Amino acid sequence: MRAVIMAGGKGTRLRELTRDEIPKSMAVIYRKPILEWQIDCLRRNKIRDICIVTGHLGEKIREYFGDGSKFDVSISYFHENSPLGTSGALAHLEEILADPYFLLVFGDTIFDIDIGRMESFHRSRKAKATLFVHPNSHPYDSDLVVMDAQGCVTKFDSKANVRDYWYDNLVNAGFYILSGEICANIPKNSKTDLEKDVLMKNCGASLDIYGYVSSEYIKDAGTADRLQQVEKDIRNGVVSAKNLSRKQRCIFIDRDGTITKGRGLVYRVEDLVLEETAAQAIRLINRSPYLAVVATNQPSVARGLCEVADIEEMHRKMKTLLGTDGAYIDALEYCPHHPDKGYPEENPAYKIRCACRKPGVGMIEKAATSMNIDLSRSWMIGDTTRDIQTAKNAGMRSVLVRTGEAGKDGAYPAVPDMVCDALLEAVEHILGEE
């Protein structure tokens, strides 16, 4: 797979650092230009044929990288004499568009990604375009990607829209695998926006567009504040640690009584309320090398109190509320089953014994497989002995919190490794061991 890096922007938001002497993609982060960080990652992923699209001060990029041989890659260039937007230059790259697909990267992002996983997803879906999507800490002012259960993108929700609904925190990261087919109608010598003029116009059409959801590190370093945060993340090892080719550490978290108020069986959206410091706790996880994954039993579906759609709406509410406070979860697993029969309105389709219901480890193992999690270096935080037993069954350490049921359920004799007042204290203790 070949790669195209869009590095033609003027970078007005970084002018205090670049002083208009270098393009923004050459801004230095921890001793290397942004572009060099990108090329290093591409090379590690065996992507060595790279075309860099240049514009303002593009000669500075050519002087530094040349033909790429010093960086063990092959670099060609396309220069925009006038700005062509985020996709206009693609119309001029006929040789690359003739490939089955290629990688498109924006030149102001820092990323460390197992690109082979994304490519496998793209091929398995037979997609014409695959977007790297992820949760972020400010979904309320970000353009959101809306997808169906199979990951097919159904629409884009602009940050300019009024959102009077609960939404999934899934944001377009600006990292794509594209086919030449979806780029076929991009006009030459015309300023074109990839998302608005290409992707949005093809949503739901025969040109299938998919979202690849990943917890890996990718951030826009296009402002001075963001650049400083990215440099801090590089220094602290957060960037490299998130690459899914490496074993991940995870903090699994129960929902009811741990992240949200414990109110018995919560099956109405209006009854879901966050614990006071839950968002603060999850923000700390987001800034650490750990993943934040929710694993929750939701037997209300089996008992006939609500439908799967209601549970998913509650989870959208939880993600929206967390996002409002600058926090996000990397993944969420839930079990709608319950083994005991005899409830008046029960749903027999979900009245089964399963491997996913805690203290079974089905949800934990599913996340561990998909996100390459090392369970022996991971934790489970919950308010019941069922959560503590789940941790033991999965080979993880555990924390019991005194919120919710506070361990008084007495369902299992399991003893936690630690007891804390609430989720925030539990997370602080875990991260304090680093």
Judge if 3-231 and 247-432 fold alike in CATH terms: no
Distance CA 182, CA 98 (A): 12
Give the pLDDT confidence score for residue 11 in this predicted structure. Answer: 64
pLDDT value at 184 more than 90: no
Lowest mean pLDDT among 35-44, 222-231, 382-391: 222-231
Give the pLDDT confidence score for residue 223 in this predicted structure. Answer: 82
pLDDT value at 106 more than 80: yes
The proportion of the chain whose per-residue pLDDT surpasses 90, expressed as a percent, equals 86
Query: Does residue 359 have a cis bond before it (omega within 30 degrees)?
Result: yes
| 157 counts as catalytic | no
Closest CA relative to residue 80, chosen from 69, 96, 93: 93
Give the pLDDT confidence score for residue 205 in this predicted structure. Answer: 61
The catalytically annotated residue of 168, 208, 256, 383 is 256
If you search the block for the tokens 């015309």, which residue do you land on?
190
pLDDT value at 25 more than 80: yes
Domain layout of the chain by residue ranges: 3-231, 247-432
pLDDT value at 204 more than 80: no
Taking CA atoms, 146 is separated from 143, 210, 231, 319, in Å, by 10, 10, 31, 14
Closest CA relative to residue 147, chosen from 67, 210, 237: 210
In contact, 56 and 8? CB cutoff 8 Å: yes
Mean pLDDT of 402-416: 97
| 254 counts as catalytic | yes
CATH of 3-231, one of 3.50.50.60, 3.90.550.10, 3.40.50.150, 3.20.20.140: 3.90.550.10
The catalytically annotated residue of 168, 254, 330, 387 is 254
Q: How confident is the model at residue 92 (pLDDT cuts 50, 70, 90)?
A: very high
Mean pLDDT of 94-104: 96
343: helix, strand or coil: coil
Which class is 247-432 in CATH? alpha beta
Distance CA 271, CA 258 (A): 15
